[in-house]
Amino acid sequence: MYRKILVLVDNRQVTQSAIDQAIGLAQVHRADIFFFSVLPNYVYPAVDMLPVADMSADDFRAQASEEASRMLSAASAWAERCGVHNHRAMGAGADGAHCVAEAAVKRHCDLIVVGTEEQNAVVRLLSGSIVPGLISAATVPVLVCRERPIRPKRNSHLRSPFTSSPVVSREMGARKKHEPND
């Protein structure tokens, strides 16, 4: 059913769940994955404001591009270890949701996979999440993933590619042999 899946990659912890879901779908459907990262826009300080950081627009873009490249490489390596063919791309635009939607159309993707925190829609809208706008702007289905335990067979030997913590460890709810079936 799905041949090309676009996965939004950013520095949030929930992105790992979205990547895990996308890899599972790609394995089942023998699909290719396009890992995509939206570069943030540099906001020029107003004339009467004190500068928050001493960084030029070019330095900001270079640093953002380097960080996005690192995250995309980690996601790509994860997919390759699972035997999934993948591609990487970055994009920038005034509106992140439209940037992702256009990337999905340009790459002929059948599905967009994105992670979201466990917040209600109003909080996501006020906090600047692109998920509400992406659902409205996308012309293909959008799979919104919440944070969940990563399957142990897929990452039991992996370090978390998105954080500095050594291992993603979550307890899986496994049924014991002597427990009855539900």
Q: Domain holding 9: CATH number?
A: 3.40.50.620
Is the pLDDT higher at 76 or at 178?
A: 76
Please state the φ and ψ torsions of residue 144, each to the nearest 5 degrees. -100, 120
What is the arithmetic mean of pLDDT over 66-79?
95
What integer pLDDT is reported at residue 149 of this predicted model?
A: 65
Over the chain, what is the mean pLDDT? 79
160 lies in some domain? no
What integer pLDDT is reported at residue 1 of this predicted model?
A: 83
174 lies in some domain? no
168 lies in some domain? no
What is the arithmetic mean of pLDDT over 45-58?
65
What integer pLDDT is reported at residue 172 of this predicted model?
A: 40
Residue 170 per-residue DSSP state: -
169 lies in some domain? no
Residue 58 pLDDT > 80:
yes
At 26, list the tokens.
């790609």
Number of domains in the chain: 1
Contacts of 87 (CB under 8 A, 6+ apart): 32, 33, 34, 35, 107
102 lies in some domain? yes
Residue 120 pLDDT > 70:
no
Residue 71 pLDDT > 70:
yes
Residue 168 pLDDT > 60:
no
Residue 72 pLDDT > 90:
yes
Residue 173 pLDDT > 60:
no
- Name the nearest CA neighbour of 74 among 22, 19, 30: 19
170 lies in some domain? no
177 lies in some domain? no
What CA–CA distance (Å, rounded) separates 38 from 137?
Answer: 15
CB 150 within 8 A of CB 18: no
- Vertex 180: Cα angle to 179 and 182 (nearest 5): 120
Range of the domain at 95: 4-43+57-155
Q: How confident is the model at residue 29 (pLDDT cuts 50, 70, 90)?
A: very high
51 lies in some domain? no
What CA–CA distance (Å, rounded) separates 131 from 14?
Answer: 13
